[in-house]
Amino acid sequence: MPTDRVLFFSEPFPDAPVARLAAFGEAVVGTEGVRGADFAALAPRIEALMTVVADKIDPARLASLPRLRVVANIAVGYDNIDLAACASRGVIVTNTADAPAEATADLTLALLLDVARRVSESDRYLRAGRWVGWTPTLMLGTCVHRMTLGIVGLGRIGRGVARRARGFGMQVLYTQRNPLSAAEERELGVSYRSLDALLPACDAVSLHVPLTPETSGLMNAARFASMKKGAFFVNTTRGKTVDEAALVASLASGHLGGAGLDVFVDEPQVPAPLLAMENVVLCPHIGSADRATRGQMAARAIENVVRVMRGEPPLDAVSLPV
């Protein structure tokens, strides 16, 4: 193997088959992603880079990686990577599109159930010693089986959410750029609406779109205002798809009934008003935080790298050299 070639795996992942990389050079697992001293010292020798969502790969970072051939992002989204800059430098970019879908769909339903039935709020209430006995009005919530759920973006995760929602007896509406065929809609049990028609028709809305220039701030003040009074909002995609100030204002006014949020605009910072709201359930970007899922994501990224190092097409290319 070339002893001067480094294949850099950004951060430790459970059950990651990093040993597969040793056939192609020195496999190094970082501790602080591309922000750490270990990365900086090895950058001139790195030919393959396996990144996480916190790793920003921009022109300045690429300039420090003269031998880079592939960036394998261990995520569905790749908004942390400048695709045009990579393509112009002859760098392949891949993602792990399939692996996180089921785990993230699970979390989406968990957030909706939690905020609608006030589970986390009840837990805090009990632990604080405030419970003095059963009453018929204590912690009244909303049953999800009576809801109409709107899914914005019916990709792998959105479809997983739709299947779960149908299992709860929910009516499911969806919107995306290209509607499904009638047969696909029947199979999933979903009905298409435009975004602006979907929002006022739903008791809960779940966001599942990639972060692009078109989707940045997609959920803004006007769209939150168009939702039903008392509706719930769930976001497990990217924080910047939402106008966070508009979301806070809609929750504070009482127009929205609550929110379940796994992602934020300026992670790991969370707006102070959200932290203070009882009707908001907050998670620290754990959509794919299932041990088996994280292992599958790591294995998929490594497989993409192995194929590139062998001179073969990767499984999950999102950007190829120009």
Q: pLDDT tens digits for 243-266?
A: 999 999 999 999 999 999 999 999
For 83-127, the DSSP string reads HHHHHHTT-EEE---STTHHHHHHHHHHHHHHHHHTHHHHHHHHH
- Residue that is written with structure tokens 């062998």 in the block: 310
pLDDT at 180: 97
- What confidence tens digit (pLDDT) does each residue in 51-70 have? 999 999 999 999 999 999 99
- In angstroms, the CA 236 to CA 105 distance is 9
DSSP state of 81: B
First-to-last CA distance in the chain? 28
Known active-site residue 69: no
The yes-or-no verdict on residue 1 having pLDDT over 70 is no
The yes-or-no verdict on residue 2 having pLDDT over 60 is no
At 47, give phi and psi (nearest 5°): -110, -25
- Name the catalytic one among 26, 32, 185, 267: 267
What count of other Cβ atoms lies within 10 Å of the Cβ of residue 287?
23
pLDDT at 136: 98
Helix axes 101-117, 156-167, angle to 10 degrees: 50
- In angstroms, the CA 196 to CA 117 distance is 27
Known active-site residue 124: no
pLDDT at 3: 67
Q: For the sheet containing 26-29, what is the strand order? A: 26-29, 6-9, 46-51, 70-73, 92-94, 317-319
Amino acid letter, residue 290: D
- What confidence tens digit (pLDDT) does each residue in 68-92 have? 999 999 999 999 999 999 999 999 9
- In angstroms, the CA 319 to CA 76 distance is 14
- Name the catalytic one among 45, 238, 300, 307: 238
Q: Do residues 32 and 70 make contact, with C-beta atoms less than 8 angstroms apart?
A: no
Average pLDDT of the residues in 95-102: 93
- In angstroms, the CA 8 to CA 21 distance is 9
The yes-or-no verdict on residue 110 having pLDDT over 70 is yes
| Exposure class string for 121-154: b at 16+ Cβ within 10 A, else e | beeeeeeeeeeeeeeeeeeebbebeebbbbbbbb
The yes-or-no verdict on residue 139 having pLDDT over 60 is yes
Q: Is the dihedral of CA 9, 15, 19, 20 positive or negative?
A: negative
Q: How many residues does the chain have?
A: 322
- What confidence tens digit (pLDDT) does each residue in 3-52 have? 699 999 999 999 999 999 999 999 999 999 999 999 999 999 999 999 99
At 82, give phi and psi (nearest 5°): -80, 100
Q: Which residues pair with 260 in a beta bridge?
A: 234, 281
Q: Do residues 203 and 231 make contact, with C-beta atoms less than 8 angstroms apart?
A: yes
Provide the pLDDT confidence category of residue 97 given band limits of 50, 70 and 90. Answer: confident
Encoded tokens for 231: 């509706």
At 38, give phi and psi (nearest 5°): -65, -40
The yes-or-no verdict on residue 278 having pLDDT over 70 is yes
The yes-or-no verdict on residue 133 having pLDDT over 60 is yes
- What confidence tens digit (pLDDT) does each residue in 223-236 have? 999 999 999 999 99
Average pLDDT, the chain: 96
Known active-site residue 267: yes
Encoded tokens for 259: 């929110």
